[in-house]
Amino acid sequence: MAKELKELTKRADNYSQWYNDLIVKADLAEQSAVRGCMVIKPYGYAIWEKMQQQLDKMFKETGAQNAYFPLLIPKSFLSREAEHVEGFAKECAVVTHYRLKTNDAGDGVVVDPNARLEEELIVRPTSETIIWNTYKNWIQSWRDLPLMCNQWCNVMRWEMRTRPFLRTSEFLWQEGHCAFATREEADANAKLMLKVYAKFAEEWMAVPVMQGVKSETERFAGALDTYTIEAMMQDGKALQSGTSHFLGQNFAKAFDVTFLNKENKPDTPWATSWGVSTRLIGALIMTHSDDNGLVLPPRLAPIQVVVIPLGKAEQVAAVEEKLNPVIEQLRALGISVKLDDADNKRPGFKFADYELKGVPVRLVMGARDLENGTIEVMRRDTLEKESVPFEGIVERVKNLLEDIQQNIFKKAVTYRDAHIYECDNYEEFKEKVKDGGFFLCHWDGTAETEAKIKEETQATIRCVPFRIRTDTRRGYGIRKTIKVPRAHCT
């Protein structure tokens, strides 16, 4: 074990390899035997649960409610919206039969050819279609609006190439689907949800994000506008971390959803959909981690404080007696504390292991501290440790957690801002973009230019940022956009 973990201390030449190793060694997830899928292990899932908890709270504050819709979608639903089907058709898993039978040799099972479904079912790649098919029955009057539902579920997209957390065939996410009476309300909702995601990313994940609008090429299949938050990973590449779509009336029309408005006239509702996935865990890992392993933001760390008593059995008992009230008090403050007094692992191993797992604060106490009335505190973000008076340790730990949360966010902002460049010259851009980072550039708004840039430089347009979207300084009506050399995913 020790040797295996030591390998991690040398960052691999290949950033992707380093990322994959980290996930396995920190006990977050492992590759499934099923192609392109991932097994999320308890420690990794605990992070997801903390994210879910907070996001769910934030969604409910906007008026959304949780619901659940079926996993299987009739094939015909998908084709109701032309762009939507075109976008997703290539990556759908399809259910064609509903029964197996024993094979002729009697030593296995085969698909029963007599059990073919009349209409094939798609394993949901996203749920717009089945939800809007349901909304048809739920929406009759302007009084039924707005209708705001969210579901926590899994989806499946048969991706050619997969990477843990960033793009797996099956992944966990949340998808919100809202219906409004007016265009303005819907667009405002799409923007509001993006703000919610941005707030969550920055305040909880400590991941700074750029907010903006996707280009037409990168837009969600079936949407009029896709709003996105883009984070910068430590290799200078972008990661799309959440999207919120203004769907217009496309899905409402495709599924014949109408309502009677206040004037007693038939009207068509306006839609939004918004989602974030377990990819957020990938963002977390790639934003903060260092060569010692994960660095988790205290607000999302499953274990916020680990307490390690040192010495032989009798000494540990004496130390624990002193520590127990402190642990109680920390827990009373809502801080999750793990006491690791296992006697089958040496302290050095425990230290390294909790660093690998990104536990923000470590408290260590032994016979020496007991004598001196001190305790050792280590913070994961800077790896600094100091011996402090035992008195007031609870308050100190509480403040330290908050300090770490702020510090890693600041660090991420500093890194990102140091890699954002403004560029007015295409030749200069072509040269500089090779090293990664975000580039604020001009763009004539056409897909041709976008494709050309991608071909010549591998850079993609991540978004047109909100704050400088309508920059027309140069008189061409040209908008500033962010481009990065390569994205981790789109």
Binding site for RNA (CB under 7 A): 1-6, 8-9, 16, 31, 35-36, 87-88, 90, 125-126, 157, 159-163, 167, 171, 218-221, 223, 226, 240, 243, 275, 277, 292, 310-312, 343, 346-349, 351-353, 355-356, 364-370, 376, 378, 383, 385, 387, 489-490
Cβ closest to RNA, residue 247 vs residue 441? 247
User: Least Å distance between CB 247 and RNA?
Assistant: 11
Cβ closest to RNA, residue 34 vs residue 333? 34
User: Least Å distance between CB 118 and RNA?
Assistant: 26
User: Least Å distance between CB 437 and RNA?
Assistant: 19
Q: Which residues fall within 8 angstroms of residue 353, CB to CB, at 6 or more apart?
A: 5, 345
User: Least Å distance between CB 254 and RNA?
Assistant: 16
Cβ closest to RNA, residue 34 vs residue 67? 34
User: Least Å distance between CB 454 and RNA?
Assistant: 9
Distance of alpha carbon 153 from its chain centroid, rounded?
14
Cβ closest to RNA, residue 53 vs residue 387? 387
Cβ closest to RNA, residue 428 vs residue 435? 435
User: Least Å distance between CB 401 and RNA?
Assistant: 18
Cβ closest to RNA, residue 442 vs residue 488? 488
**CA dist 230 to 150, 251, 374, Å?**
22, 26, 44
User: Least Å distance between CB 200 and RNA?
Assistant: 16
User: Least Å distance between CB 259 and RNA?
Assistant: 27
Cβ closest to RNA, residue 259 vs residue 354? 354
Cβ closest to RNA, residue 353 vs residue 381? 353
Cβ atoms 223, 246 nearer than 8 A: yes
User: Least Å distance between CB 482 and RNA?
Assistant: 16
Cβ closest to RNA, residue 364 vs residue 408? 364
**3 state SS for the chain:** CHHHHHHHHCCCCCHHHHHHHHHHHCCCEEECCCCCCEEECHHHHHHHHHHHHHHHHHHHHCCCEECCCCCEEEHHHHCCCHHHHHHHHHHCCEEEECCEEECCCCCCEEECHHHEEEEEEEECCCCHHHHHHHHHHHCCEHHHCCEEEEEEEEEECCCCCCECCCECCEEEEEEEEEEECCHHHHHHHHHHHHHHHHHHHHHHCCCCEEEEECCCCCCCCCCCEEEEEEEECCCCCEEEEEEEEEEECHHHHHCCCCEECCCCCEECCEEEEEEEECHHHHHHHHHHCECCECCCCHHHCCCCEEEEECCCHHHHHHHHHHHHHHHHHHHHCCCCEEECCCCCCCHHHHHHHHHHCCCCEEEEECHHHHHHCEEEEEECCCCCEEEEECCCHHHHHHHHHHHHHHHHHHHHHHHHHHCEEECCCHHHHHHHHHHCCEEEEEECCCHHHHHHHHHHHCCEEEEEEHHHCCCCCCCCCCEEEEEECCEEEC
Cβ closest to RNA, residue 252 vs residue 280? 280
User: Least Å distance between CB 14 and RNA?
Assistant: 8
